[in-house]
């Protein structure tokens, strides 16, 4: 019997209710302490992250961002909610519940980035001990900063002063942003082992924050004659260290999202290319195509037209050789594809002895442009598959250049017995162009004509 489990959205709602309940009870008991709310926030982030197989490092980043975002939202968001709801008990409860919902859905959406491009793993063993250490470290870090900012040495009102000093120094801001961006991009190359990566990140963050603090303290590059004093320096360092950690975490999240999107695009491209190769393989051994080809060959042999039969066999072999050669190629030159399409058209002309023709109007300057292999052949096959071909109703496929597109056009003269639609073939060609060049193909059908335009790459 399958065990029932609570869905992630319901987990978010339950944690939001728990946050609201604790906020109400703490104020009714006249004991306001943010630590229980912080613990709940960390627990929600970790549970959602583990359920969706997020690595421990990203759990730490999400927990860190969520914790300090909650601190800022609780400090400034509560005043906005209080303007709408004046009740001193309900306003904080509504504020913390709203933030919990926003944070929970944000983490959930972030987690889904990786799930959309890979199969759900049947089993996964998260590093529980490592996650517990990370959560405890973030909780202690949060408590430490709360104590520091509320101490007599660091009044809460002085945070704005320290932040203004940092924001007024353009060099320090640029160094803070560029340094963290560079570190996020090269960190994996600096430290091979995971444990050294964590220790190295902590050490470099502490040292980097100290460097920026010195620049701000002495107002680099303009300079000042300020005498070094430990307490003002430490107050400034505490704020800059916090900013450095938040900036690093945000850049790490952005890098993770971009990597996830790139991997999603790459895996989607592999999937569509595999499907395209599979369709080409089916076309290569298409019983209908082989049956018609062998019938034509048998007719030529029976009529003792050995020269035509030999030429037919060579053309058929050339077509298969081209398809096998380019099976793993993403793009081929237009010249190569036109050579293949002409040989394929000659095979069709042996089948349709009259009434079928392919006309090419291609300037030489575009022959070295690229298209998806076998795309032109599929469009020619599509034309003969869905249209009547006879001496009384001749079918001509016209291939021309329109700007940066290869245009394939034929008249619409549907067969009396319609063949199954070629929609999958066009869909695969369209997806190949989207994956390789992010360019769509153009398909147009009028009362008299069917037109497909392929981008020239």
Residues 292 and 172 in one domain: no
Q: Which domain holds residue 72?
A: 1-114+125-150
* Predicted pLDDT at 223: 78
Cβ atoms 47, 8 nearer than 8 A: no
Residues 141 and 222 in one domain: no
Is residue 275 included in any domain, yes or no?
A: no
Crossing angle between the packed helical segments 159-167 and 170-190, to the nearest 10 degrees: 90
Is residue 79 included in any domain, yes or no?
A: yes
Is residue 160 included in any domain, yes or no?
A: no
- 275 has pLDDT over 70: no
Query: Measured at the alpha carbon of residue 443, what is the angle toward residues 437 and 449, in degrees to the nearest 5?
Result: 150
Residues 445 and 303 in one domain: yes
Beta strands (DSSP E) in 32-88 are none
Q: Quote the percentage of the chain above a pLDDT of 90.
A: 10
Any idea what the CATH number is for the domain that residue 331 is in? Answer: 3.30.565
Question: In the listed set 245, 261, 277, which residue is the last one of a domain according to the structure?
Answer: 261
Is residue 223 included in any domain, yes or no?
A: yes
Q: Where residue 121 falls among pLDDT bands split at 50, 70, 90?
A: very low
Is residue 398 included in any domain, yes or no?
A: yes
Q: Where residue 123 falls among pLDDT bands split at 50, 70, 90?
A: very low
Residues 85 and 144 in one domain: yes
Residues 3 and 101 in one domain: yes
- 27 has pLDDT over 60: yes
Residues 77 and 103 in one domain: yes
State how beta strands 405-411 and 332-333 pair: unpaired
Residues 230 and 257 in one domain: yes
Residues 254 and 313 in one domain: no
Residues 328 and 407 in one domain: yes
Is residue 279 included in any domain, yes or no?
A: no
* Predicted pLDDT at 420: 56
Cβ atoms 113, 210 nearer than 8 A: no
Number of domains in the chain: 3
Is residue 179 included in any domain, yes or no?
A: yes
Instruction: Report the phi/psi class of residue 223: left, alpha or beta, with left for phi > 0 and alpha for psi in -120 to 50.
Output: left
User: What is the distance between the terminal CA atoms of the chain, rounded to a whole angstrom?
Assistant: 55
* Predicted pLDDT at 2: 43
Residues 295 and 254 in one domain: no
Is residue 193 included in any domain, yes or no?
A: yes
Lowest-confidence range among 174-178, 185-189, 231-235? 185-189
Cβ atoms 34, 74 nearer than 8 A: yes
Residues 257 and 311 in one domain: no
Residues 170 and 246 in one domain: yes
The Cβ of residue 308 has, within 10 Å, a number of other Cβ atoms equal to 16
* Predicted pLDDT at 164: 84
């Amino acid at each position: 019997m399958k065990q029932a489990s609570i869905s992630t959205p319901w987990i978010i709602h339950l944690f939001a209710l728990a946050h609201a309940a604790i906020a109400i009870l703490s104020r009714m008991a006249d004991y306001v302490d943010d630590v229980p709310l912080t613990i709940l926030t960390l627990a929600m982030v970790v549970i959602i992250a583990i359920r969706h197989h997020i690595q421990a490092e990203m759990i730490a980043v999400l927990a860190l961002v969520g914790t300090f975002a909650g601190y800022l939202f609780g400090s400034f968001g509560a005043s906005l909610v209080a303007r709408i709801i004046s009740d001193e008990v309900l306003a904080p409860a509504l504020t913390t519940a709203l933030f919990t919902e926003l944070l929970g859905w944000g983490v959930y959406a972030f987690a889904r980035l990786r799930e959309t491009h890979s199969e759900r793993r049947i089993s996964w063993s998260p590093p529980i001990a490592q996650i517990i250490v990370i959560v405890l470290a973030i909780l202690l870090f949060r408590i430490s900063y709360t104590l520091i900012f509320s101490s007599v040495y660091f009044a809460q009102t002085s945070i704005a002063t320290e932040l203004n000093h940092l924001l007024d120094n353009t060099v320090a801001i640029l160094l803070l942003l560029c340094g963290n961006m560079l570190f996020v991009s090269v960190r994996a190359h600096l430290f091979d082992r995971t444990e050294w990566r964590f220790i190295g990140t902590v050490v470099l963050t502490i040292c980097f924050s100290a460097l920026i603090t010195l620049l701000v303290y002495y107002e680099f590059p303009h300079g000042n004659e300020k005498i070094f004093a430990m307490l003002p320096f430490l107050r400034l360092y505490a704020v800059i260290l916090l900013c450095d950690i938040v900036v690093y975490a945000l850049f790490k999240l952005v890098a993770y999202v971009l990597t996830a999107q790139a991997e999603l695009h790459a895996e989607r491209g592999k999937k569509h290319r595999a499907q395209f190769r599979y369709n080409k393989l089916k076309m290569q051994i298409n019983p209908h195509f082989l049956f018609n080809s062998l019938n034509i060959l048998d007719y030529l042999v029976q009529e003792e037209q050995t020269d035509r039969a030999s030429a037919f066999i060579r053309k058929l072999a050339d077509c298969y050789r081209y398809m096998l050669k380019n099976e793993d190629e993403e793009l081929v030159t237009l010249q190569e594809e036109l050579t293949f399409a002409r040989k394929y058209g000659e095979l069709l002309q042996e089948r349709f002895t009259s009434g079928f023709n392919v006309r090419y109007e291609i300037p030489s300057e575009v022959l070295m442009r690229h298209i998806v292999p076998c795309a032109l052949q599929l469009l020619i096959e599509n034309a003969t598959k869905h249209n009547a071909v006879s001496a009384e109703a001749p079918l001509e496929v016209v291939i021309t250049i329109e700007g940066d597109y290869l245009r394939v056009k034929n008249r619409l003269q549907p067969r009396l017995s319609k063949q199954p639609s070629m929609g999958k073939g066009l869909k695969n060609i369209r997806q190949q162009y989207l994956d390789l060049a992010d360019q769509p193909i153009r398909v147009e059908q009028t009362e008299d004509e069917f037109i497909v335009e392929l981008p020239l790459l």
